[in-house]
Structures are given as C-alpha cells and as structure tokens.
Structure 1
C-alpha cells in the first residue's frame, strides 16, 4: 500500500494459494439443494463461534493500523475457501467494525449483520467442492472481548500500539474469519503503520516498504494456523534476529522500555528451548521461531504461532518460555478439534514447563511437582473438574493445566520413559498441522505402548475425585 521505497526484501504476492475468479458453476440439481451454511461450529465452550458449510484455505489481511486514531484499523481481508456443501449463503465471524463492501469471486455480494456475524449471500449459489474467494472491506475501532469467565482478550490497546491475544475466540474482534480452531488456514499479512512503529505478525517477514509517513510490513505464515493464534502486534520494538544452532530462523521483538539484556535473554532462551524441544518432541513444526514482549495490560502469555506473546515479567522466566514454545507442537501444530479438549494444549505445555524447571534445577523434579499437587487433597478446582471436560467455566482452570500435566506424568510412570516419549513424538508426527481429540490421544498411547491404559485415562481425565489405585 502506497509503497515507494523498498527497505527490506522485495515484496512478493501476498496470497499463498490460488484463487478462482468467481464461485464454481453449480449444476441445476445442486442449486436446487443449496442451503445456508451452519451459523456456528457447535462448540458449547464458545457458543456461536465458528461456522459451517466451507473450509478456509487462506487469509490475506491487508490492513492499515493507526493505534491512536479513529478508525484504528481499516482494510480488506480476503478469504479463500472451499465449499463443503452447496451454499446459498454463509456466515463469517465478525464483531463490531463497519463493513463497507463484500465481494464473492470479485462480484458484489449481499451482506447483513447478526450478533457476532457477517452474513454473506453470494450472487449465485456455490457448488459443493467449489473454491471461492470472499473479500470484506471494513474499518473501525476493535473492542476487546471482556468475558466474566474468560477475562479480557482479543484486540488490546497498549501504550504505543496494539496487542492481539485472541484465545479462544477473539480473532473476529479485528478480522472476519471462521473463528474456531477446527478450520485452520495459511495467512498473509500486509500491515501499514505510522513511521516509528513496527508491525510484528506470524511466520516470516517478507518485506518492508516506506512511503511518506507510513511503513508497510509483509508477513507470511505458510503452515496452517488456527485463527486464535494469528497475531499482529504494533508498537515501538527492539528487534533481534538470527538462527538457532539447529537452523531455525529466530525473530524476537521487545517493547522499547525493555533493556538490551531483556532482549538478549528472551532471544537466548527462545533459541535454547526451540532446539531442545525439537530433540524431545520431534522436528520443529514451523519455519521460524521467536517471541514478542509488549506492555499490554493483560495477565497472560499466549502461544501465537511461531512467535509467542509475553508481558515483561513473564518473558523473564525460562519456564514460561518453555511452556509457550512447547505449544508450537502441542496446540499450534496439533490443534484441538473442540475446546473441551483444551488439556491437550495446556496439560502438555504445563508438563513441558515442569520438565524445563528440572533442567534448570535438578532438585526441582517433575515428580516433586506432581507430588506437591497430589498432596492437595482439598482442592475442588483440581479434583472435581475432569480435565477432558472442563466446560467454559474451567477452561483456563487448574484441572486443565495441572491435573492435565499430572495425567501425563501418571502415563509416563506407567509406560516408562522410552514409551512415553515415543508416544509424544508419534502424536506430533501423526497429527502435524492438523486437529485431534482426547480419544485419539488415548488410542495412540495404547497403540504405541502396547498396554491397556483405559483405567488410567478414565480416572485422570474423565472422573471426578482424586485418583487412587491407578
């Protein structure tokens, strides 16, 4: 956008997948049976989020972000998708924001709004299996999601810019999407910001151009990604780049208030953890690693794909870096099919955090972490909520994190180290860049170990109460 002088690499075409000029021709019989796509993914943890009738292949976000202005964001998101049924209309998740134009296959489409939704009626029905593009032009001031159970997330204003932390369903606060992890896609970002600010997104930086008082950053994430893992953080950042000894490109950015030692510490920990986990969990699943530290008024770090987001205090803790980077395997590459299986993300990452703590301090063993929690007999948040069925209320609760990690340690003790780590490597290999469920993990664990683990998984993942005799 308004690019004149190339500062970094030459800009490449933003789109990563081919787009058809219009929606596929619909046979008369299919047209007669065309129907609206479902207006929800049917996930009880995030009711209303996600949609049916199509499978997104790629997002192109072409945005101008001016954090202190109104509108704060303006631009066009172009979505390439495949129809999974004959579609007469379909929904996109989008909260707030003013939509000025919608096209399908380059042709103007009728659109309307419903709570949290943009309802699109293409100029003609789309055939099942047909590839189509929908482009949405919009602007406005995105609002953070403020949920009494899940907290504040989504588009978060910072002192000098924007932080986007979207788990579980905050992505549609700033771009139209199929906002559920079941529908993963590749992404391209072209983000124009005022000169002096930097825009950091997922994947690799493909180009930077300057024009007048603005700078445009182009990023690409070439591997499939859930929408909640997409990020564009804007601010005054210090940046360090390089490669891990294992050859993975690294891009780390920290808020300008953080000193060089803080930048170097995050870089060094990211390098060390990325290569260590690649040896333990299997090859690093993406084409780059890194992290961003921002001054966002939140209390969480987030495993945004290839580039986790931290706040200053958290980024200084190696165990937190270990937690978020383990998510690149458990949660990002292998994503949940439904949010009720959240322990597959957080239980695994918490266990990785314990393992890293043991590396840093051999006296702080994984077994001691397990024992400390197992001794807490009067902890209803740990024992009365099954990790594999936490519901919305306990999605980010102790059972999902701590008891989920304890279930993994119980598995490790049962099958032994060799079989345990073989299970983890098989899991990350067989479901790489896909989605999976608790049932699939328990079945894989039994297959790889050659053992009957049904009772162990029942008491640790599904039953209420503190497991005994397992």
Structure 2
C-alpha cells in the first residue's frame, strides 16, 4: 500500500464553522438541512473530549511507522451513524498534519483548532445515515501530558520502537476519532514496520505479511477487534519483541509481546494469564473478549501499566498481582466502561478488589483482612494501606488530576467490600456477575451502579453510598 503523502483535495486556512455554513447557504440559495455536531461531550473533567452528533461504528486504521525517523503515516477510515442532521462534525486529533479528508467518497473541507478537526462534507448528512470518513495524515506524533503529570499518546521506546497509550485522551495523538469512552466501536488496525520489528495491537492477529513487491522489505501486521472498544483502550506497539502464545481452557488465544531483556523476568506472571482469565471467568462471568495477552516494554518506558483492551501494556516485568489487576479491567472498565471520567472508581475499584479476591482464593490475605488493613494502616498486610485512601470520595474526584488517586482504587475497593459485608457472599457475587453480564460492552455511571446494586440485592444500601462512596470524611464502620 502506498504510504506516501497525499495531496489534499481541499484545504482552507481555518475558517469558522459559521463561515462555512454561510458560504454553503449563499451558494445554494437556501438553508442547510443539518447543523454542526458538538465539538465536545462536556465531560466533567475533559469537556472537549469526544464529539456530538454521530456514533462511530468502526475504525479501520492503516498505519506505517518508521523507527529511524519517528514518522507515522496513517489513513483512518471511520464508519459512523449520524445522530442528527449534520452540516459539519468534529474529530479529535492533535499534532499530526492532515493531508486530506473525504466523506462519502467526496472531498470535504476541513480546518484545525487545537485538538478539533472540523469537517464539512460536500453534502449535509441526514439523521440516521451511515457515513464513511477517510482522513489521511502524517507526522511525528506528540506526547500528551495529563493533568497529573503522567505522559501518554505516542511514546517512543528503546531501540526505535513506540507504543500508543491513551488514558484518558492520548489516543488523539496517533489517530483521529471520537475520543471519549462513551463512544465505543470495533477496530481493524494495520501496522507497517521495517523487517525485524514486530507490531502488536488489540484483538486477534488476522495476518502477517512481508512486502516484497515494492522492495521495501517491510512487514505488515493486521489486527482485528470485533468487540466494541473505547478509543483510550486502543494500542499500537512496535518493537523487537519476543512473541509467545498460549490458550485458555475456554479456547481464548493468548498473545504476548515482550522486549527481549525482560523475557525471562516476565515469564512467570505472563505464563499465568490463561489461569487468571479462567479464574476471572469463574468469579465475574465469561471473559468478554475473543483474545488476551500482554505487551511488556522496557522499564521506564512508561510510569504505569494500562489495561489496553485484550492486551495490557506493562512498564517492565509485571507481578502476578498486576496482571490480575489489568486482566480484571477486561470485565470492569473495558467491557463495562465508564460514561464519564468521573466514574473511574467503577474501573479501578473493581480491578483492585479483584486483586483482593485473587489473594483470598490463593492463600494470601482475605478481602476482609485487606479491608481491615486499610482501616488500620497495616502495611504488612497491604503495602498501600498507608495511602491517603480517604482523601476524597471515590465517586467525586476533585479534579482531572485525581482520577487515578488512591481513593479511586482503594476506597473504591472498600465500597465493594462494604456491600459484601452488608448483603453476604452469595448476593454480592450474584451482583458482580450480573453487573458484568447485564452491562456487557456498554457504558455505565455511578448512579447506574448504585441503582443496580439495590435492585439486584433487594437491599437499601444508602448508608454505604452516603458514607463510603460520597462521604467527604474518613469513613468508619
């Protein structure tokens, strides 16, 4: 496939949407049938993230990465359905140069303002219409710095490799899209890299081919994710990885990519992925995806692990507990995804509690002992027990810089244990499995969970919500 730069069909010097509408009206002698889609979804913490007026069904990303220069060339084919009549709509994209945009096979006008790529189709889109947008772009992807100071986006790694990580908004650094977890879609991701490099993404590897016809010697890897995925969970990783494969007892294929120097140190934890997936299926219900695995980068490449869908990314050789945490996210966070970034405790509280359950089931401290350790600050039972887990309510982080704070993880897990204490084990685990099943591949809020928990258990849990989920003071039992 030709990855040379394409000449744009149209390119304006950043006119406003209003000016485009006025121009269209003047040329047609009438009024437009659609209206602009919103340039953000007004998320409480990231108000410009995502866009309104349409729902993405599928991303087809064709990417070529050159490790020597750090250049990325991409073609994004985005299939979506209009939720209203659209005279224009936005995609989130930062840093990269847009060369051309087509909508429904015709050249479209576009302009850039900050992270917003505003697109004006040649003809208005009708409500309910499925439409296809093609964006051709290139450049050196940028690193995005989060409010808490961590880095995401397109991160270059040792040996010329790179990895794309996107929580909460970094995916817009390497492909255009509707970058908010409320809009999930299926993905096909093709990665073209020089011979000798591996390219890894989400889902299942559909094909791997060496390109000989153009004498480039490149390798092309095609990955497919058929289940819906929030864009912050998409990944593309390039490196000289060692590849290993396995299969769970239910037949789920496991595909691991590890930098060579960490292959031995990672073997024990990664070797237990089939066991952990099987265990999670027993605790939480059937595994929600058609693939599993891991990407292990050099120590120091990232300051955190991320639960990228089906294939979490680890900064260095992971522990078993960390693998349990990230795999638990496949149920809680990836399949059952937050409606807004304020609802992060529904991701991290569940994944942290999964660690407690794994310990309980494998001869370590029980969940009750972990809960008590946090109340008492006992770091011998849990090294994190001296964190400020009570600093703010898990359902109400005070700002975007706090969505990965200790209360979101540990007090979030304690909320779940308090429910378990109130309703008993049978009702609690029925609740957990029901939550994962009834909201499979959907989006949820804190209000959805509290209503569901009371309906499912038949119990009034208002005191738990008041004290542990929303209370501003340090809770006490």
What secondary structure sits across from 2:428 in the alignment?
A: helix
1:155 deviates by 0.9
**Matching of residues 65-464 of structure 1 within 5 Å:** 65-70=65-70, 72-160=71-159, 161-211=161-211, 212-259=216-263, 261-295=264-298, 297-313=301-317, 315=318, 317-362=319-364, 364-376=365-377, 381-390=388-397, 391-464=399-472
Structure 1 residues 467 and 31: CA distance shift in structure 2, 3 A: farther
Q: TM-score, normalised by structure 1?
A: 0.90
Which stretch shifts more, 280-289 or 207-216?
Answer: 207-216
1:46 deviates by 1.5
What secondary structure sits across from 2:225 in the alignment?
A: strand
Structure 1 residues 453 and 148: CA distance shift in structure 2, 3 A: closer
1:375 deviates by 2.2
Q: TM-score, normalised by structure 2?
A: 0.89
- Give deviations 1:148-169, integer Å, cap 9, x for gaps: 4251111111012001121011
1:376 deviates by 4.5
Q: Indicate if the aligned counterparts of 1:208 and 1:218 stay in contact, CA closer than 8 A.
A: yes
What secondary structure sits across from 2:272 in the alignment?
A: helix
Q: Indicate if the aligned counterparts of 2:345 and 2:412 stay in contact, CA closer than 8 A.
A: yes
**Matching of residues 14-29 of structure 1 within 5 Å:** none
- 1:360 & 1:102 partners in 2: Cα distance? 54
1:332 deviates by 0.2
Structure 1 residues 266 and 215: CA distance shift in structure 2, 3 A: farther
What secondary structure sits across from 1:382 in the alignment?
A: coil
1:368 deviates by 2.1
Q: Indicate if the aligned counterparts of 1:303 and 1:327 stay in contact, CA closer than 8 A.
A: yes
- 1:213 & 1:333 partners in 2: Cα distance? 38
Size of the aligned set, in residue pairs, is 439
Q: Indicate if the aligned counterparts of 2:33 and 2:124 stay in contact, CA closer than 8 A.
A: no
Q: Indicate if the aligned counterparts of 1:346 and 1:400 stay in contact, CA closer than 8 A.
A: yes
RMSD over aligned Cα atoms:
1.9
Which stretch shifts more, 95-104 or 295-304?
Answer: 295-304
Greater relative contact order, per chain length (Cα 8 Å cut-off, separation 6+): 1
- Give deviations 1:285-316, integer Å, cap 9, x for gaps: 00011111012521211100011111224x1x
| Map of 2:19 onto structure 1 | none
Q: Indicate if the aligned counterparts of 1:252 and 1:263 stay in contact, CA closer than 8 A.
A: no
Structure 1 residues 336 and 150: CA distance shift in structure 2, 3 A: farther
